[in-house]
């Protein structure tokens, strides 16, 4: 396998003004005008959309706006109450042809591409636990410094998935995708309830989940497996079909307090509170999905601790 990194996170949103409110005004990122010029962006890879890119570290967040409500993207937006949400995540390969053959040999399928080889290469969600994922050739592109924003968010710490089974996600991401599983001592890392992990923030007391992690380039694919059927994560998973669903994104911010202050000033809605900066420089914050294009946003600066 030659999957190198998470290439981009794709969202569908109502308009580019709202996207810039969240990612530029709120999170301090910038529009990559080299690849998606203002004000209208570029033709979207999702049929019937225009797209805008917001670089973050070695990847980017792609926001696509439907041209009309009758398209698949328009219906996706309507299903999420016109706010939007995560549509898919793209993974980069430095040997696309070989990886496609390898993944097919392992039982994964790809959706047909009516426009030929120029069309996006999506996995058939029926073979990926219901997750829509894209495989792209690694283009080796890194944004010009002028498109990297003000420096509040320097990368994507992880992309979060809710899933029903640790065994199923391990089979998909480790055995099929070839990603390493982040193994840690019991009680301190992946494969243990997040509430018991010594290196992870406290989640809501009623959100009892087990964390499973797969490093992919400079980003972690973080899986939250509910340990009951009443927690917020369990209810979210049930609403998305019960197998697996894109759950949240987590930018890495050296100064979480400054990140939260900027987001609040831009009108984003904070969930919960964080300790004052005088008490700790390490913190975890959350923004409500309804104030962030339908995507739950976590932000932290928790170090990655390994055995």
- Over residues 180-208, the pLDDT tens digits come to 998 754 544 444 444 333 333 444 444 78
The whole-number pLDDT of residue 203 equals 46
In degrees rounded to 5, what are phi and psi of residue 255? -120, 90
Superfamily grouping for domain 3-141: 2,3-Dihydroxybiphenyl 1,2-Dioxygenase, domain 1 (3.10.180.10)
d(CA 186, CA 192): 7
What percent of the chain stands above pLDDT 70? Answer: 90
Architecture of domain 155-300: Roll (3.10)
Q: Is 270 exposed, middle or buried (0-12, 13-18, 19+ CB in 10 A)?
A: middle
- Express each pLDDT in 220-267 by its tens digit: 999 999 988 888 889 989 988 889 999 999 999 999 999 999 999 999
pTM (two decimals): 0.91
In this structure, of 40-54, 59-73, 159-173, 222-236, the range with the lowest mean pLDDT score is 222-236
Residues of the chain with CATH 3.10.180.10: 3-141, 155-300
Residue 41: CB atoms within 10 A of its CB come to 23
Residue 151: CB atoms within 10 A of its CB come to 12
Average pLDDT over residues 65-82: 96
């Amino acid at each position: 396998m030659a999957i190198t990194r998470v290439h981009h996170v794709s969202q569908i949103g109502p308009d580019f003004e709202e996207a810039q409110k969240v990612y530029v005004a709120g999170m301090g990122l910038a529009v990559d005008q080299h690849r998606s010029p203002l004000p209208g962006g570029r033709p979207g890879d999702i049929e019937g959309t225009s797209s805008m890119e917001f670089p973050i570290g070695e990847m980017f967040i792609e926001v696509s706006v439907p041209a009309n409500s009758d398209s698949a993207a328009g219906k996706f937006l309507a299903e999420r109450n016109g706010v939007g949400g995560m549509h898919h995540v793209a993974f980069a390969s430095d040997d696309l042809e070989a990886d496609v053959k390898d993944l097919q040999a392992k039982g994964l399928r790809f959706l047909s591409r009516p426009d030929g080889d120029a069309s996006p290469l999506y996995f058939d969600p029926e073979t990926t636990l219901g997750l829509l994922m894209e495989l792209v050739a690694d283009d080796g592109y890194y944004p010009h410094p002028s498109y990297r924003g003000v420096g509040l968010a320097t990368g994507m710490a992880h992309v979060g998935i809710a899933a029903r089974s640790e065994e199923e996600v391990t089979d998909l991401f480790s055995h099929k995708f070839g990603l390493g599983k982040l193994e840690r001592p019991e009680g301190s890392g992946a494969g243990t309830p997040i509430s018991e992990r010594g290196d992870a923030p406290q989640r809501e007391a009623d959100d009892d989940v087990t964390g499973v992690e797969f490093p992919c380039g400079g980003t972690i694919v973080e899986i939250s497996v509910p340990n009951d059927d009443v927690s917020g994560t369990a209810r979210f998973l049930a609403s998305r079909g019960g197998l697996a669903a894109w759950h949240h994104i987590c930018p890495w911010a050296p100064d979480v307090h400054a990140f939260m202050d900027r987001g609040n000033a831009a009108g984003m809605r904070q969930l919960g509170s964080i300790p004052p900066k005088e008490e700790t420089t390490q913190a975890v914050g959350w923004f409500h999905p309804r104030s962030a294009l339908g995507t739950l946003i976590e932000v932290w600066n928790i170090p990655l601790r390994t055995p």
